[in-house]
Amino acid sequence: MNLANKLTVIRIFLIPIFLVFIAVKGIPYGKEIATAVFIIAALTDKLDGYIARSRNQITRFGKFMDPLADKLLVTAALVSLVEFQLIPTWIAMVIIAREFAVTGLRSLAAAEGVVIAASWWGKIKTVVQIIAIILALLNLTYNNHYFILIAKIAMILAVIITILSGLDYFMKNKDVIRTDK
């Protein structure tokens, strides 16, 4: 297991730690620690990809687990934000539904021996989602009117880019889901 894959595994192990600190009441600075853990986990995504590419250590494990780790992290954060009523349920469902849909598309493509690589839209989507989630998490601690407005705008932008990214994947790979095969 190379360093990039170890970082992916660490990201997955950070998810329950994030959830404990965000969900358990009475932990001193729990929300702040949860936000810091989320930020660290999100940074490992950028770092593991850079390391894998720069060292030419891209593996099947990494191709499968890295996007899964991202989806688990984002889903855990979105569900937590819904629980704290910081985002409406529909926002979380649109983002999570897109993740399931694109994962399904990738699975269909893989069954045909086709690899659907992450697109530019997909990478932008991930960055915007992470920024929006961090801003929303910071609202747990810093409940400022301007900050709340910025976080809401970022989350709406994340939804729009998430939808555009999903449409991009399906339009570019429509032959994978053709029914006449």
- DSSP code at position 175: G
Three-state secondary structure call for residue 111? helix
> Helices in 24-119 by DSSP H: which ranges?
30-54, 60-83, 89-111
Task: List CB contacts of 148: < 8 A, sequence separation 6 or more.
Answer: 139
Q: In angstroms, rounded to a whole number, what is the distance separating the alpha carbons of residues 173 and 177?
A: 8
* Residue 26: pLDDT band with limits 50, 70, 90: very high
Q: In angstroms, rounded to a whole number, what is the distance separating the alpha carbons of residues 160 and 94?
A: 10
Distances (CA, A) of 46 to 4, 42, 102, 160: 10, 7, 20, 22
Write out pLDDT tens, residues 85-103. Answer: 989 999 999 999 999 999 8
Tell me: pLDDT of 143 over 80: no
Q: According to the model, what pLDDT value does residue 67 have?
A: 84
Q: In angstroms, rounded to a whole number, what is the distance separating the alpha carbons of residues 82 and 101?
A: 21
Query: Do residues 91 and 78 touch, judged by C-beta distance below 8 A?
Result: yes
Query: Do residues 96 and 152 touch, judged by C-beta distance below 8 A?
Result: no
Tell me: pLDDT of 117 over 90: no
Q: According to the model, what pLDDT value does residue 179 have?
A: 63
pTM of the predicted model as reported, rounded to 2 decimal places: 0.90
Question: Which domains are assigned to the chain?
Answer: 3-174 (1.20.120.1760)
The residue ranking higher by pLDDT, 141 or 97, is 97
